[in-house]
Amino acid sequence: MDWWKDAIIYQIYPRSFQDSNGDGVGDIPGIISRLDHLQELGVDAIWLSPVYQSPNADNGYDISDYREINPEYGTMEDMEELIAQAKSRGIRILMDLVINHTSTDHYWFRQSRDRTSPYADYYYWSHGGPDGTLPNNWTGFFGEDCWEFDPQRCEYYLHLFAKSQADLNYHNPAVLEEVKDILRFWLDKGVAGFRCDVINILWKDSLDSSKKKLSLTGSEHYLTLEGTHDILRQLRAILDEYGAFTVGEAVCVTPETARALCGRDRHELDMVFSFEHMDCDQYKVKWIKRKFRPKVFFDCLTRWQRELDWNALYLENHDQPRSIPRFGSVRYWKESGKLLATLLLTLRGTPFLYQGQEIGMLDFDFQRIRQLNDVESKNVDRLLRRFHVPQKLRWRIISRTSRDNARTPFQWTAERGAGFSDARPWLGINHNCERINLAAQEEDPRSVWSWYKDLAALRREREVLRRGEFVPMEAAPPLFAYRRRLGEEQLTVLLNFSDDPTRVSVQGSLLRSNYPRERFEGVLQPWEAVILE
């Protein structure tokens, strides 16, 4: 039943994975052509970022038809072929379920602009305050206001994300019925479940203004409320008819509120992506970077390992800059890339690998804002310009955090186009593809790719890595040490998050090291990862 406790799941951002028809945009036939790569890596399931009909204001997270495939990515037949081809390789497909909002191009929204239509209150509409002020003082996720005036309906509609992503109003029961039909549509096609986009903010309990905050003013009116739990329980009932899986992206959750979303007894989600460990190199908001603090990172991971029975484990995704520059070391690119792989694949929970992580891809090498695509980055640039922040400082703030850092095309080969496309790619390819690419690593037993493949096999072979309990160990940073225990079986993991050799007093027989060595004598080399029996 819970196949996902033994699985490694791989996230594909379809736009940037593989172009098959020479238009510079990744597509579904391209993904099909690369399934052997995923099978060799040892992937058990694929989370596919949205491929539905969309005007691409937020690259598919603004859906205009949940039952149609965006022609840029291919046809419904291509999608059905992908499900079948993946299945023939023992790989499940998870779709991205984006139901907090739809695109303003969606039929429902276009109808909703007529207040006499049956779709009139599928969304949150409001007259706004006296003398034309906005309905409330909430601030959104993309640094914009949360209300956009619609000249046809002459009212404002709520959008917590981009203005073309209108929030659905679940106070209207018809909305949840529509979502249930969408779930069934995809489950009937044979998908194994869903990654659920910002799933803990669905229910808004009021549209009242609230105390100003540095970010997300008004979030107490929608963060993980009882109304959302009720929606999730109703969706779970349908998912259970199919034995389907869900991982929820849960913003601003603590272990306690996460447990309320994915505890076994809750019958809501199977697991959640939380954000706390990703906040360890930023100050309150992600645009204000600070020096990475290993101790905070280790303590956070330890707390989540101990306080949740099951975690969704990730260090990268399509919203986050690459992990080696953040939590590892570009100077020790290979060693720290393999160390972070070891962390991801030996903690307790389901590991999620983001495309390119398996070959140690790094952030983009863009020089100016016009090379960016991400709506969030462009909104923040506009906001900073309004505050007269000089161009150089704007670029410094945005380039370090922009989600485009993780969205550059996959680097398959060293050639021009990186084996991704023969056409001009929709987003620039990092020039380091001459050095960092799959072809250069496939035959190298010491490469990052080979290390991921080997650890995935080790995880499949050793049940203690999949099901064992997490046992923290006393260790001072830069050392992160823990054990996995199942009955009599125990493995010790030692990770040196530093450029300096680090002595440890732990003994054991060497099972793996990311350095060539026969035995372990108590000293970890810079960014060395060791697994001991």
Binding site for Ca ion (CB under 5 A): 19, 21, 23, 25, 27
374-409 residues labelled b (16+ CB within 10 A) or e (exposed)? bbbbbbbbeebeeeeeeeeebbebbbbbbbbbbbbb
- Indicate whether 287 belongs to the interface with ligand TEU (CB under 6 A): no
CB of 3 to ligand TEU, least distance (A): 24
User: What residue 316 binds from Ca ion, ligand TEU, none (CB within 5 to 8 A, per partner kind)?
Assistant: none
Is 456 near ligand TEU (CB under 6 A)? no
Q: Residues 201, 231: contact at Cβ < 8 Å?
A: no
Is there binding between residue 61 and ligand TEU (CB under 6 A)? Answer: yes
* Contact status: 179 vs ligand TEU (CB under 6 A): no
Which among 95, 54, 92, 96 is positioned nearest to 71, based on CA atoms? 54
Q: Which does 61 bind (CB under 5 to 8 A by kind): ligand TEU, Ca ion, none?
A: ligand TEU
Q: Which residue is catalytic, options 58, 144, 167, 249? A: 249
Kindly state the tokens that stand for 431: 């020039």
**98 binds ligand TEU, rule: CB under 6 A:** yes
Q: CA torsion angle for 19, 321, 323, 46 (degrees, to 10)?
A: -40
Q: Which does 25 bind (CB under 5 to 8 A by kind): ligand TEU, Ca ion, none?
A: Ca ion
Closest CA to 24 of 34, 15, 33, 12: 15
- Residue of 161, 170, 298, 364 that binds ligand TEU (CB under 6 A): 161
Place of tokens 């495309």: 355
Contact assessment for residue 101 and residue 169, using Cβ atoms and an 8 Å cutoff? no
**Which candidate, 345, 381, 369, 302, places its Cα nearest to that of 142?**
381
**How distant is the alpha carbon of residue 502 from its chain centre?**
32
x/- track of binding to ligand TEU for residues 366-405 (CB under 6 A):
----------x--------------------------x--
For residue 193, give the 3-state DSSP assignment.
Answer: strand
| CA angle at 450 for the pair 249 and 345, rounded to the nearest 5° | 35
354/420 with CB nearer ligand TEU = 354
Between 204 and 483, CB nearer to ligand TEU: 204
Can 249 be counted among the known catalytic residues?
Answer: yes
User: Can you tell me the distance from the alpha carbon of 287 to that of 108, in angstroms, rounded to the nearest whole number?
Assistant: 34
SS3 (DSSP) at 273:
strand
Asked whether the beta carbons of 154 and 235 are under 8 A apart, the reply is no
Residue 167 engages ligand TEU in binding (rule: CB under 6 A):
no
CB of 25 to ligand TEU, least distance (A): 17
For residue 286, state whether it binds ligand TEU (rule: CB under 6 A).
yes
**Binding-site size, ligand TEU (CB under 6 A):** 14
Kindly name the residue from 44, 78, 144, 197 that is annotated as catalytic.
197
- Which amino acid is it at 9? I
474 is catalytic: no
Nearest approach, Cβ of residue 21 and Ca ion (Å): 5
Report the partner that residue 141 touches, choosing among Ca ion, ligand TEU, none (CB closer than 5 to 8 A by kind).
Answer: ligand TEU
Residues 6+ apart with CB under 8 A from 154: none
Binding partner of residue 462 among Ca ion, ligand TEU, none, CB cut-off 5 to 8 Å per kind: none
Of 19 and 167, nearer to ligand TEU (C-beta) is: 167
Options 251, 456, 493, 529; binder of ligand TEU; rule CB under 6 A = 251
- Residue 167's binding partner among ligand TEU, Ca ion, none (Cβ under 5 to 8 angstroms by kind) is none
Contact predicate 458/449, CB 8 Å: no
The catalytic residues are 197, 249
| Contact set with ligand TEU (CB under 6 A) | 58, 61, 98, 141, 161, 197-198, 249, 251, 286, 318-319, 376, 403
